[in-house]
Amino acid sequence: MKQKLIYILALLMLAGCSRTEKKTVEVPATRVPDSVMEKATIILTSEGLTQAIVYADTLMVFEKEDSTLAIKVKVDFFDDSGNFQSTLTSKEGLVRQKKQQFSVWGDVIVQNDTARLETQSLNWDPEKNLIFTDDFVKLNRHGDVISGYGMETDNKLSNVRILRDVKGRIQDVPSSEKAIDSLEKKNEPAEIP
């Protein structure tokens, strides 16, 4: 009886020690940033002049890709003379420092003292000093609301072009050609004697 019990235990031990090949699970390679910064600032310049200052709660830098992923973004834009033009906020952004370009997405708002632009994504081209998107946009300016899809504008939001499906609510529409002419004369530069 003892021999049978020892024999059974030996078989169980051998069975427990047998080699079974385990399948290896391949883990996909993930992008690991070269550096991570908290409460960071990036200054984008052209010929020594500040064009934009990018602030972010978190920056993840990927050197080989010339990519910096920004989380909780704020950007201040400046004109060629260094004067403040507008502020942009978004959930995320991607900065290409060598090209001095960036894109933002997620509840994007661009605002200055006269206008507010809302959309889900924007891109900035510093060579053209142009902000653009293909997404839906809503622009509030002086009580007027204009919306549509696709847009191009300058950093100050003064020359906005909405590309398609444009709709709007205009507060003060001139009622005659004479009223339109008077508006045009107000915007003309004064003559210098």
pLDDT for 6-15, tens place per residue? Answer: 344 343 344 4
Cα distance between residue 120 and residue 141, in whole Å: 19
pLDDT value of position 28: 41
pLDDT value of position 184: 57
Sequence spans of domains, the chain: 35-171
pLDDT value of position 5: 37
Q: Give pLDDT < 50 ranges for the chain.
A: 1-28, 190-193
Cβ neighbours of 154 (radius 10 Å):
17
The partner residues of 41 in beta bridges, in order of sequence, read 55
pLDDT value of position 109: 95
Cβ neighbours of 95 (radius 10 Å):
25
For 84, how many CA atoms within 13 A lie in the half-sphere containing its CB? 9
Element (H, E) at 106: strand 101-111
In the block, tokens 């920004």 appear at 70
pLDDT value of position 38: 94
User: Residues near 85 by Cβ (< 8 Å), separated by ≥ 6?
Assistant: 77, 78, 79, 112, 154, 155, 156
Cα distance between residue 34 and residue 60, in whole Å: 7
Provide the CATH number for the domain formed by 35-171 in this structure: 2.60.450.10
